[in-house]
């Protein structure tokens, strides 16, 4: 007997984040009408989009929030994500779902996160305050595994550290831009290390010279189905916390720009603002919508012996 499926639809946008140029930056799928959608279907949709993250917009559960968002990779749900937060706010403003002239607060699994807007139209940058970060002390065993997986000589001055800001990132200071740009890591080793360290991935950065950005970044999350992420808000927030904790922020500045994604042909920039007194970190940038339409969602599926329904 054929499967009977009752369908409903959702407004849908695919947004390139941390860029004002379409087909650059980091793509994000935004499902704007996700109320009532089961967790399993959210995960299936995120696997189907095959993007590093897909977000699902829901009514807020807390009075202070403007909206609620759930964030999924192709394999799991995240408590926080930088490019999902910036891109979802862009999509909601563009769709007229939230008022950019009012204070905006995102509700997600990591809590209530204030948003800040700078500029208008194509020049608008959206900033989200990352969850408070905890910078772990160096771990010699993890450090050795990082250098092995990245296939480079150890840097003793500032060893890798795990930074928890809603996600665990292993942050690696490689010193200079050329070293970061030319990395050719062992993805299997990075995936194994991520699982062992309970980290979403490994993020490497180095300092730039004579550029309109201050650092260059690459982020790898092969254990979560994302070998290299184009432009990563949460990892850049974690770098800001690492720089503050290791006393290196003054040399770069409390407001700086990071370049990421060039190696994937998806050049983007993340603006990072660090409050050195409180440790609060904002990450932000521009966004550009590439797809704007309607997605058909499964609402109810009758059980059947030959059920193989898809979307």
Place of tokens 């990352």: 130
Using only C-alpha atoms, the chain has a radius of gyration, in whole angstroms, of: 20
Q: Are 300 and 7 in contact (CB under 8 A)?
A: no
Neighbours of 293 (CB within 10 A): 9
Q: Give the per-residue pLDDT at 299.
A: 67
Average pLDDT of adjacent 10-residue blocks, the chain of 311 residues: 71 98 97 96 96 97 98 96 98 97 97 96 94 97 96 89 97 97 97 97 97 98 94 98 97 97 97 97 98 87 39 33
Q: For tokens 């970190």, name the residue.
A: 281
Give residue 119's region: left, alpha or beta (phi > 0; psi -120 to 50).
Answer: left
Residues 6+ apart with CB under 8 A from 40: none
Q: What is the DSSP letter of 101?
A: T
CA–CA distance, 307 with 3 (Å, rounded to integer): 6
Q: Which residues are catalytic?
A: 53
Domains of the chain: 5-121+288-301 (3.10.310.10), 134-279 (3.10.310.10)
Nearest to 160 by CA among 190, 126, 115: 190
pTM, two decimals, is 0.92
Give me 145's structure tokens. Answer: 């595994």
How high is the pLDDT of residue 121? 83
pLDDT at 156: 75
pLDDT value, residue 157 = 83
Paired with 164 in beta bridges are: 134, 168
Torsion from C-alpha of 134, 88, 259, 225, nearest 10 degrees: 70
- Cα→Cα distances 266→21, 22, 190, 260, Å: 10, 10, 22, 8
CA distances from residue 58 to 107, 146, 210, 253 in whole angstroms, order as listed? 9, 38, 44, 37
Contact 215, 171 (CB under 8 A): no
Measured between alpha carbons, how far is 133 from 241 in angstroms, rounded to an integer?
Answer: 6
Q: Is 121 helix (H, G, I), strand (E, B) or coil?
A: helix
- Euclidean distance between CA atoms 104 and 227, whole angstroms: 33
- For the chain, the 3-state helix, strand and coil shares in percent, each to the nearest 5, are 25, 35, 40
pLDDT at 155: 82
Q: Which residues, in sequence order, are bridge partners of residue 205? A: 173, 217
């Amino acid at each position: 007997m054929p499967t009977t499926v009752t369908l409903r639809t959702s407004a849908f946008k695919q947004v390139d984040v941390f860029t004002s140029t379409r087909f650059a930056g980091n793509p994000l799928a935004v499902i704007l009408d996700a109320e009532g959608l089961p967790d399993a279907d959210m995960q299936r949709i995120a696997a189907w989009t095959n993007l590093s993250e897909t977000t699902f917009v829901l009514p807020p559960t807390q009075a202070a929030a403007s909206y609620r968002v759930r964030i999924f990779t192709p394999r799991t749900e995240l408590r926080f994500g930088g490019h999902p937060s910036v891109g979802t706010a862009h999509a909601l403003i563009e769709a007229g779902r939230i008022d950019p002239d009012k204070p905006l607060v995102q509700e997600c699994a990591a809590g209530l996160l204030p948003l800040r807007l700078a500029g208008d139209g194509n020049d608008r940058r959206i900033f989200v305050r990352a969850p408070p970060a905890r910078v772990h002390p160096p771990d010699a065993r993890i450090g050795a595994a990082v250098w092995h997986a990245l296939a480079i000589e150890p840097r003793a001055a500032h060893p890798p550290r795990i930074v928890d800001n809603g996600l665990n990132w292993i942050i690696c200071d490689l010193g200079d831009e050329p070293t970061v740009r030319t990395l050719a890591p062992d993805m299997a080793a990075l995936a194994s290390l991520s699982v062992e360290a309970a980290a979403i991935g490994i993020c490497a950065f180095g300092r730039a010279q004579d550029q309109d950005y201050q650092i260059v970044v690459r982020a790898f999350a092969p254990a979560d189905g994302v070998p290299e992420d184009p432009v990563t808000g949460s990892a850049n927030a974690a770098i800001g916390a690492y720089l503050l904790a290791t006393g290196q922020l003054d040399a770069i500045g409390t407001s700086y720009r990071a370049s990421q994604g060039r190696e994937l042909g998806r050049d983007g920039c993340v603006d990072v603002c660090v409050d050195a007194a409180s440790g609060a970190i904002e990450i932000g940038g521009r966004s550009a919508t590439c797809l704007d339409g309607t997605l058909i969602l499964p609402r109810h599926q009758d059980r059947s012996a030959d059920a193989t329904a898809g979307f």
